[in-house]
Amino acid sequence: MNSVVIYGSRHGNTRKVGEAIADELRKYGEVRAIAAEKAPTAFPVETELVVIGGPTEGHRMMELVARFFDRMDKGALAGKAAAAFDTRLRWPLWLSGSAGAGIVQRFERAGARVIAPKMSFFVAGNPPVLEPGELERATEWAASLAAIVNSKASLVTA
């Protein structure tokens, strides 16, 4: 399985989550983990899974991640399996918002196949730091994404 994990990060928390996801996905194939500002505008044909995440800022995705989607080549995500994550405060969703929700919308507009609900990883404090156990949750989530992609691939080849 070939995967790409793209993240935007302000305080390093989302980068850490993105790297934990990439580390787990490496058990299933090749992975590139890339900061949003350095991410390519197109993906190789063999890319099976694209995971994008960013911190929630002002109830939505950070501008850096939005700009990445804006500069992406038309059709770059068409038909690709995709999943979104964010980092945010552990507040009710209506208070904090979710970058993941906006990322899912951008995936859908780009023709990607969103394979799982958005996932939030929680931070606390000022400056924000990841809550205990969040990197482990990121690893578990990544394994579940790989299982989904691999199960769909086996259905196609059967």
- Parse the chain into domains and list their residue ranges: 3-157
Confidence of residue 153 (pLDDT cuts 50, 70, 90): low
pLDDT tens figures, 111-133: 999 999 999 999 999 999 999 99
Q: Look at the domain 3-157 and name its fold.
A: Rossmann fold (3.40.50)
Contact 94, 59 (CB under 8 A): no
Helix (H, G, I), strand (E, B) or coil at 150: helix
**pLDDT for res 91:** 84
- Which of 10-14, 22-26, 153-157 shows the lowest mean pLDDT across its residues? 153-157
Show the tokens assigned to 101.
């929700």
Show the tokens assigned to 122.
């929680």
Helix (H, G, I), strand (E, B) or coil at 2: coil
**pLDDT for res 81:** 97
**pLDDT for res 90:** 92
Helix (H, G, I), strand (E, B) or coil at 105: helix
Exposure string (b/e) for 13-22, b if CB count within 10 Å is 16 or more? bbbbbbbbbb
pTM of the shown model:
0.94
Instruction: Indicate if the pLDDT at residue 110 is higher than 60.
Output: yes
Q: What is the share, in percent, of the chain residues with pLDDT greater than 70?
A: 96
Average pLDDT, stretch 134-140? 98
**pLDDT for res 156:** 42
Residues 120 and 87: their CA atoms lie apart, in Å, by: 6
